[in-house]
Amino acid sequence: MFSIIVPTHNRPALLSRTLKSLSEQTYKNFVVIIVSDSASTLPPYEDLRALEGHYVYVLRSGQAGPAESRNLGLAVATSKYVIFLDDDDTFEPGHLEVLANRIGNKPPELIFCDFKVCNEDRTKTPPEHLSTAEITIASVTRDSTFIINRIPNSCLAYRKDVVANISFDVNMIIYEDWDFLLKCLRKYSLTYLPINSVVIHKSIADAPENMRRGNSRDDLLVETMLGLYKKHPVKKMETRLERQALMARAGVVVKLADC
């Protein structure tokens, strides 16, 4: 049913936690495709043994970064649905089972769900839990996603035919996941599932232990958003006006023709 693509880069302890959350799933019709872009750390053998028969481990060369790794994972995936799970995020044990039950015999094109944010201190091993917040994104629509993206990558499940000819832009520093989603939404629709069994783990942005690309690239936010607006134009005037208003709140004047 599910191919779960996990790109990773030199974060063995966090990857171990992610893989453990998958081995503990109550629903077992899935394969985990772990794509590492570095040979500096050993594969998590103990966690892989717990996933025996449910994983593929790929060590790739070339440019480092999650986009290239996700593209390679897509090339390997054969299941009905594809999920991209970051190597520091987790699923609660019943997540895949509820997702599979929702899919049933009428599989939606793209499914998204709510999530929890777990704030932690990664300067300690294992990370020290600081707080947890439940986040609902029930108000997200296809149109609103063309204005701003509120759906974490790990909260999406893509039907395989939807992503058959789509890839992540390896040249983007930030928002390559939003760009990928918008490519899919040109032709396909979103379905909301009211569960919050995805856990997004976060630490302070400037902590080296966090190591999320783009955390310190606030200077690229507006430029990249404007680039995505041009790359993914919309015809609906209301959506274009909301794009313009969002930029205005950031102090950027944009013509409607560029929205």
**Model pLDDT for residues 8-53, shown as the tens digit of each residue:** 999 999 999 999 999 999 999 999 999 999 888 888 999 999 999 9
CA–CA separation, 149 vs 238, rounded Å?
17
Question: In which residue ranges of the chain is pLDDT below 70?
Answer: 205-216
**What is the per-residue burial (b if ≥16 Cβ within 10 Å, else e) of 161-173?**
ebbeebebeeebe
Residues 138 and 175 in one domain: yes
Residue 25's pLDDT is what?
98
CATH code, domain carrying 171: 3.90.550.10
For residue 214, the model assigns a pLDDT of 47
Do 104 and 226 belong together in one domain?
A: no
**Same structural domain for residues 67 and 146?**
yes
Q: Where in the sequence is the domain holding 41, given as residue range(s)?
A: 2-216
257 and 226 belong to one structural domain: yes
With contact defined as beta carbons under 8 Å apart, do 173 and 213 qualify? yes
Check: CB of residue 107 under 8 Å from CB of residue 36: no
Q: Are residues 79 and 194 in the same domain?
A: yes
Domain count, the chain: 2
**pLDDT tens per residue across span 78-108:** 999 999 999 999 999 999 999 999 998 889 9
Same domain, 144 and 229: no
